[in-house]
Amino acid sequence: MQVKKEEVRKKILKAAIKEFKNSGYKNATMRKISNSSGIPIGNLYRYYQNKETLFNSIVADVYDELKDLFKRGMEKDEHTVEGRSLFFFNKLIDIYTANYDKTYILLHRNVGTKYENVQRELGNYFQDKITTNVRENNPNIEEEDLEFIRFICRLYLIGIGELITSYDKDIAKLKKMGRRFVTFYFQQIAERI
């Protein structure tokens, strides 16, 4: 039995990341990845059973990190929503910058995978956490106010997505604009709802 080599695995992953980023999961093929990596197709299948297994090996860790962050919401020993949301934004950017290609593939090149609805799923975790926190701090809050908060959460996440897309090559500017966005969005929010 042939011993699997880390060098071969790295070549496969590098080629697969490039292929998934350029073509998306649906249009990527194991043959293209084989050709790009220089690894014979038969050997490729010794390392990864199929395209789905290969895709999952690329994005699973990033997915777990993002899911954990979104499930926790804006937790932090900050006393203001603005402070907690800035903490959340910075953690999100840390994950994004440490795993740029993998995060991009997970969020934007996932059609045909179990991650196809990942943006909605992560957004739901975030909304649930925020509305639960609001309800705990305001037991008499009306359902209409909670609906409004869910709406605000969706818009917040869309705004973060736009910031990341607009400034993905300039992380310093992304963080600066993120701070401005969070301040604009959440400063004195309790008085505005």
- Same-domain status, 68 and 87: yes
Q: What is the CATH number of the domain that holds 38?
A: 1.10.10.60
Averaged pLDDT, 106-116:
95
The string of pLDDT tens digits covering residues 85-95 is: 888 888 999 99
Instruction: Indicate the pTM of the whole model.
Output: 0.83
The string of pLDDT tens digits covering residues 144-163 is: 988 998 898 889 889 988 99
**If you average pLDDT over every residue of the chain, what do you get?**
89
Q: Which of 26, 48, 70 is the last residue of a domain?
A: 48
| Domain that includes residue 64, residue range | 59-192
Q: How far apart are CA 97 and CA 133, in angstroms?
A: 28
Instruction: Give 96: exposed, middle or buried? Use CB within 10 Å, 0-12, 13-18, 19+.
Output: buried
Local confidence band at 127 (pLDDT 50, 70, 90 cut-offs): confident
- Same-domain status, 37 and 69: no
Is the Cβ–Cβ distance between 134 and 144 less than 8 Å? no
- Same-domain status, 26 and 70: no
